[in-house]
Amino acid sequence: MVIRFLVLFTLLVVPLGCQKQNTESDKPGLVFRLALELNSGTRIWEVSHLFKEHLERASPEDGIKKGEIKVEFYDQGMIGSERQLLEACYFGVVEVVQVNSSMVSSVVPSYSLLDLPYIFVNDDHLKEVLNGEIGQELLDDLNDMNMQGLGFYTAGFRNMFYKTSGDCASTAEELSGLKIRVMESPVMVNAINAIGPSATPIPFSELYQSLKTGVVDGAENSADIFVSYKYEETGCNCFTLTEHFTNQHVIVANAKWLKGLKPKYRKRILEVAREIVPEFNMIWDKAIDDAYRKMQESNVTINAVEDKKAFINRTQNITDNFFAKHPEVDRNIYLKIKKIGAKYLEP
């Protein structure tokens, strides 16, 4: 794909290779930058925080002392949106970034597979795919863009939230006509339109104001995001468990930078990306439970969709259309995901 890379980061003027391998024992052997758009009120933020925290600990088995690795941490979009961060990682302006996997789909088409509606049966299916061979294959797909995926971190399923003066929707027909904000992912836009609402791609940073002013009626995301950004204050009073998409973030490193590191540092970075997965999963599960409790306390109605067949039927052609438009994406990956999911459907 052709990428438009126009990045001006005045705060980051150090070129690729911020790797410092000092001989003085009191200084870090490796210093690099890690950036993300989210704030600490969002539990998915914990991914980068855990990554930094673990890397800065001692790792005797790797011959690494405490503080030998130093991670310069930039969150809250301090140096750009997720799209800008991905571009910065490509150029090596920022060595490591955390972004939503849907954002990666704009440069690596195979990532759009993860955006296909109802591709995952349940949370166990999702985790098995992302943390297994298929996940690693997708992480390696970034190599063609001078980047390397380090790990996937699931934030579960996405649901629709919106404001209404009537009852919350429980059918696809009842959602029709709502303007729902989605990410800049063609697959996600097409899927939401197929379900019924009018998909409206706008930057995440503009969502709160767009809800307040009526540019959109609602959005789709996790319960944790809803609570963290206080969307109930915009008038959103319904949270419908459509579970139409899954949501995951990915940590991405500049490939040239990663390959140029001392082997012990490169090994440790790859190890940490994997070892923080179970710890993050526990944090996330608790966050969702807490979010549902807070939403109910704020008089937000949480309602389930009793029969998702109508939703699934409306999105059946999304997959076929996706492969017709992207013949470069290996359909075998999709088939392997579905094959794993079949065992979770067995009685």
Mean pLDDT within 179-207: 92
| Residues 136-175 pLDDT 10s | 999 999 999 999 999 999 988 999 999 999 999 999 999 9
| Residues 306-341 pLDDT 10s | 888 889 889 989 988 889 988 888 899 999 999 999
Residue 104 pLDDT > 70, yes or no? yes
Residue 9's pLDDT is 43
Q: What Cα–Cα distance (Å) separates residue 68 from each residue in 62, 64, 74, 266?
A: 11, 6, 19, 13
| Residues 237-283 pLDDT 10s | 999 999 999 989 999 999 999 999 999 999 999 999 999 999 999 99
Residue 10 pLDDT > 60, yes or no? no
Rounded percentage of the chain residues whose pLDDT exceeds 90: 73
Contacts of 312 (CB under 8 A, 6+ apart): 117, 118
Extents of the domains making up the chain:
30-345
Which spans in the chain are helix H?
46-55, 82-91, 101-104, 123-130, 133-140, 172-175, 186-195, 207-213, 223-228, 255-259, 263-275, 277-297, 309-314, 316-325, 331-345
Q: For the domain covering 30-345, report its CATH number.
A: 3.40.190.170
Distance in angstroms (rounded) separating the CA atoms of residues 232 and 161: 9
Assigned token pair, 337: 């995901």
- Closest CA relative to residue 241, chosen from 180, 303, 196: 303
